[in-house]
Amino acid sequence: AKDYVDMVDKLILSGGQHVDPRFYGQEKEIDSDDYSLARDQFELALIKEALRQKKPIFAVCRGMQLLNVALGGSLHQSIQGHWQEDVSGTSHSLEVRPNSRVSQLFQAGTQINSLHRQSIKDLAPGLVATAHDPRDGTIEAYESQGQQSILGIQWHPEFLAKNCSHNQKLTEHLQILPFHFPDILHILFRDLHNRNIIDIHFILFEQIQKQIQRSLKYLEFNGQFHPSRPFCHNLYFIFML
């Protein structure tokens, strides 16, 4: 994990399987094979190292849940009414806490998608909830209270960024490469479905290689590429389904 985190300036954790409840002191309450112990262990190691190195962490959906668990929180293992069949649509609005990082990017009433069957139960110490689902109070976003830069959201912005200015602002706020970012996430989401952690490394590396080449050409063309800057300034670990 140290070698990976050494190479990046921030860690991104995204959607996927349920988080194994052993990591928050519970037994499994549902009959499901949608777990990956190897992935949980690997990403928990990445989180631990990113925290040690004080590197920013951005977490989406499962990633948000896993990060909450890593910091001492717990999850509802099974919830209803939070799974939409169409990944391109939205299902409910946001309640946003004023004067939070989320409030700088999203207005109250912003429509978001909902693609999760688990949710945060006990929020970890050091985190503050900054957005909720107005229907039932589900935590939709949190951020850190201390020096460590942490932002977690429950919805999937990659499916909304193309047509939603708020989610576009989110990628800009995180200094994520703006060019074709939703495209690479969609490619990864499609290609990595049901693949194991070994496959993820190879496919992810190939996709990122292609993205970096496009990005460097874009930056050089616009006079923004400086060879003296760390090569991995905008390179991230992105783990999808």
List active site positions: 61, 156, 158
Q: Nearest to residue 151, comparing CAs of 101, 196, 113?
A: 101
Q: Which residues pair with 35 in a beta bridge?
A: 18
22 with 36: CB under 8 angstroms?
no
Tokens of 100: 């939070």
Question: What is the spatial order of strands in the sheet that 139-144 belongs to?
Answer: 11-13, 57-60, 150-153, 139-144, 127-132, 95-96
**Phi, psi (5° rounding) for residue 217?**
-65, -40
**What sections of the chain are H helices per DSSP?**
2-6, 37-52, 62-70, 165-173, 181-191, 197-221
Please give the C-alpha separations between residue 132 and each of 97, 124, 201, 206, in angstroms, as whole numbers: 8, 16, 34, 37
Which three-class secondary structure state does DSSP give residue 205? helix
Measured distance CA(117)–CA(1) in Å, rounded: 28
Q: Is residue 206 exposed (0-12), middle (13-18) or buried (19+ Cβ within 10 Å)?
A: exposed
